[in-house]
Amino acid sequence: MPTMVDVSDKIITKRTAHARSTIEFPPHVLKELLNVENSDGGIKGEEIVSKKGPVFATSIVAGTMAVKNTWNLIPFCHPIAIESCKINIKIMDSTNVQVDCIVSLHHKTGVEMEALTGASVASLCIYDMCKALSKDIIIKETKLISKTGGKSSQIHSDSSATTNKNI
């Protein structure tokens, strides 16, 4: 039978998780979005603007909301009080955008699902806000980069994962 994991006997520790999504745009889309001028005539810096508004700022809000509501979306996630959620979105090159979501708290359960959900929903929001320019935008991957706290810590590289057991 499906069931939520019993964490009642676990020890409260600081838990942190870092998830990353990568979004690929057709070359003309990012270029077009980057060339939008703001109201004072200057080019927007690390923000892109679509007809719906500031894409990255809106996506950070969406991702943060998703982190706080993961337990409502994933059936066996515990409702937890998030202490920190940082979402960073940056343009990597002429076609790729990277979304990083780092979540932490002191609790008996980890926050991997919250970080993965935050990165995923922020990416979906970017897609939604830019889809009028192209339906060929691809959310290429969402993956766990690292987790710390609890019984084990994991740090993932591009090609492999390592696990360190805490005693």
Q: Quickly state the pLDDT bin for 45 (edges 50, 70, 90).
A: low
Angle, nearest 10°, between helix axes 55-68 and 112-130?
150
Which CATH architecture group holds 25-149?
2-Layer Sandwich (3.30)
24-46 average pLDDT score: 68
Sheet holding 96-107, edge to edge: 84-91, 96-107, 13-24, 138-148, 152-156, 161-165
Most confident by average pLDDT, 93-97, 108-112, 119-123: 119-123
pLDDT for residue 95 = 92
Give the three-state DSSP class for 86: strand
Tell me the CA end-to-end span of the chain in Å, nearest whole number: 31
14-18 average pLDDT score: 97
Residue positions counted in the chain? 167
Contact 47, 36 (CB under 8 A): no
112-138 average pLDDT score: 97
pLDDT for residue 151 = 76
Q: Quickly state the pLDDT bin for 31 (edges 50, 70, 90).
A: confident
Residue-wise pLDDT for 47-92, tens only, equals: 888 899 999 999 999 999 999 999 999 999 999 999 999 999 999 9
* Total-model pTM: 0.86
Give the three-state DSSP class for 119: helix
Q: Show the tokens assigned to 14.
A: 């600081």
Q: H/E element holding 57? A: helix 55-68
Judged against a pLDDT cut of 60, whether residue 41 lies above it is answered with no
Q: Quickly state the pLDDT bin for 158 (edges 50, 70, 90).
A: low
Q: Report, as residue numbers or ranges, the catalytic residues.
A: 128
Q: What share of the chain is helix, strand, coil (3-state, %, to 5)?
A: 25, 35, 40
Q: Tokens 């609890």 map to which residue?
A: 150
What DSSP line would sit under 111-134, residue for residue?
Answer: -HHHHHHHHHHHHHHHHHHHTTT-
